[in-house]
């Protein structure tokens, strides 16, 4: 019976994770002069992912929420959770890539170089 109530609670609200605890390893792994920036960047990314997870939680299938909310062997992170939810749901796939940095290979191939004359 307790498991049923846990699953119902899981289905209705996104899990809560401490973003500062998630970002502590990023800060600790950075060079001393980059620690503050690494921590702030991580906090920003995790907060944005948390907001998206909370906003979209009800749109993901129960199976996706169950698989991604507390995956075994994976560090808890909103970024990882959101990625898992999107992959499980197939969201974002099938649309063309519009990011300029991700152009097709033919568009960014180097120009041929003429052979050197003897």
72-94 pLDDT tens trace: 655 589 999 999 999 988 865 55
pLDDT at 101 over 70: no
Region 21-43: mean pLDDT is 94
CA distances from 65 to 19, 20, 44, 61, 84 (A): 19, 23, 23, 6, 9
Number of folded domains that form the chain: 1
Indicate the pTM of the whole model: 0.64
Rounded to 10 deg, the angle between the 19-29 and 35-56 helix axes is 150
pLDDT band at residue 26 under the 50/70/90 scheme: very high
What is the span of the domain harbouring residue 86? 2-108
**In this predicted structure, what is the pLDDT of residue 17?**
87
- On whether residue 117 sits in a domain, the answer given is no
- On whether residue 11 sits in a domain, the answer given is yes
- On whether residue 116 sits in a domain, the answer given is no
Q: What are phi and psi of 80, to 5 degrees?
A: -65, -40
Residue in 47, 51, 5 with CA at minimum distance from that of residue 22: 47
pLDDT at 13 over 50: yes
């Amino acid at each position: 019976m307790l498991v049923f109530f846990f699953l119902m609670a899981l289905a209705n609200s996104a899990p809560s994770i401490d973003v500062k605890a998630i970002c502590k390893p990023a800060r600790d792994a950075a060079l001393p002069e980059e620690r503050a920036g690494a921590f702030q960047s991580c906090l920003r990314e995790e907060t944005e992912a948390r907001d998206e997870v909370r906003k979209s939680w009800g749109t993901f299938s129960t199976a996706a929420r169950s698989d991604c909310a507390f995956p075994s062997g994976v560090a808890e992170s909103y970024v990882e959770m959101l990625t898992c939810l999107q992959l499980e749901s197939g969201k974002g796939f099938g649309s063309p890539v519009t990011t300029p940095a991700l152009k097709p290979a033919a568009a960014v191939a180097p120009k041929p170089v003429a052979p050197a004359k003897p």
